[in-house]
Amino acid sequence: MRAAARAQSNIALVKYWGKRDVARNLPAVGSISITLSALWTDMVVEFDPQLEQDVLRVNGRDDPAALLRISRCLDSLLGSGRLQARVDSTANFPIAAGLASSASAFAALVLAAAAAAGMSRSRRELARHAGHASGSAARSLYGGFVELANAGDDIAASSLLDADDWPLSVVIAITTAAPKAVSSGEAMEISRRTSPFYARWVAQQQADLDAARDAIMSRDLRRLAAVAEHNCLKMHSVMWTSRPAVVYWNEATLACMQAIRLLQAAGVAVFFTIDAGPQVKAVCLPDVERTVQNALDAVPGVARTIVSGLGNGAALLDAT
């Protein structure tokens, strides 16, 4: 009746922004991501017949504000007649700060909950349930390069390349650990309703997905950099042209982008991407990760950097 699982964060190279079905949390566009080995969330789920309601602790503290989403996800996976659960979540990186903490959390949750309940679920099915709770969580069930398809009537995630098939490094510049003022879900709806660029964003996504997929399968960093940076800037342009404008960046975010541009001009194999938050992720070849880290550490306003390789996807830690 108890199990623990670890899932890693992922960052999208071709972004997910907007929903085609808010109630079911279905993305409006497909996306492609990489799973990070160094950023993870552990989830311990224990079903207890003595409990009258679910209990959630996050990093050692009760978190009633996040409990509703956790309970809904458990109901979706196991049915509303399930036993109540005691859930303990531990993350080794800032939560709700633009680092896909919900992705790793819900991926770990569904894996641990299914094991604790003694239920056999395929990874594809677990990804579907995780994605209904947090769209990007479906991608964290898998390692390496992952595609989340916008097809059919549900969520479908699949692996493009394993982590070892094309080893890359990611240097993450933390510009603030504070939670975002506007959640990604709320910001997506603001953009869908008000940005004049939103429809064009959706229309152009398939071309970006095809270009990124081809670049990944041919291990072409230059081509991947071009589509990933452009896709990132398009997504943030949609946010900036929403009403009210959603601006997650800060001064250090812009300074990090400039530092990466200078590295590129010097011939360093690196590119940037930024999710819904102020943190900058620099994707590079492993042999230049120290150069990239030193450059971002020197940027005023960067609190710290984290270097990560590519991860192997969610896995059980124990089951008793």
pLDDT reported for residue 97:
81
Tens of pLDDT, residue by residue over 232-277, are 999 999 999 999 999 999 999 999 999 999 999 999 999 999 999 9
**Does residue 320 carry a pLDDT above 60?**
no
Q: What is the mean pLDDT of residues 202-220?
A: 98
Tens of pLDDT, residue by residue over 142-159, are 999 999 997 677 888 999
Q: Which helix (H) or strand (E) holds 47?
A: strand 31-47
In one letter, which amino acid is 87? V
Bond preceding residue 244 cis, omega within 30 of 0: yes
* 95 within 8 A of 57, measured Cβ to Cβ: no
Angstrom distance (rounded) from CA 244 to CA 183: 14
Tens of pLDDT, residue by residue over 84-98, are 999 999 999 988 787
Tens of pLDDT, residue by residue over 267-290, are 999 999 999 999 999 999 999 999
**Does residue 319 carry a pLDDT above 70?**
no
% of the chain surpassing 90 pLDDT: 88
Residue in 187, 119, 174 with CA at minimum distance from that of residue 9: 174
* 70 within 8 A of 56, measured Cβ to Cβ: yes
Task: Count Cβ neighbours within 10 Å for each residue of 119-143 and write b for 16 or more, e otherwise.
Answer: eebebeebbbbbbbbbbbbbbbbbb
Q: What is the mean pLDDT of residues 44-61?
A: 96
For the record, the structure tokens of 208 come out as 């970006």
Taking the CA atoms of residue 117, residue 120, residue 122 and residue 126 in that order, the dihedral angle to the nearest 10 degrees is -10
For the record, the structure tokens of 234 come out as 């398009």
Angstrom distance (rounded) from CA 152 to CA 86: 34
By DSSP bridging, strand 55-58 and strand 85-91 are parallel
Tens of pLDDT, residue by residue over 158-192, are 999 999 999 999 999 999 988 888 999 999 999 99
Helix (H, G, I), strand (E, B) or coil at 179: coil
The DSSP bridge partners found for residue 158 are 147
Helix (H, G, I), strand (E, B) or coil at 50: coil
Angstrom distance (rounded) from CA 176 to CA 122: 37
* 119 within 8 A of 135, measured Cβ to Cβ: no
Is residue 223 packed enough to be buried (19+ CB in 10 Å), middle (13-18) or exposed (0-12)? middle
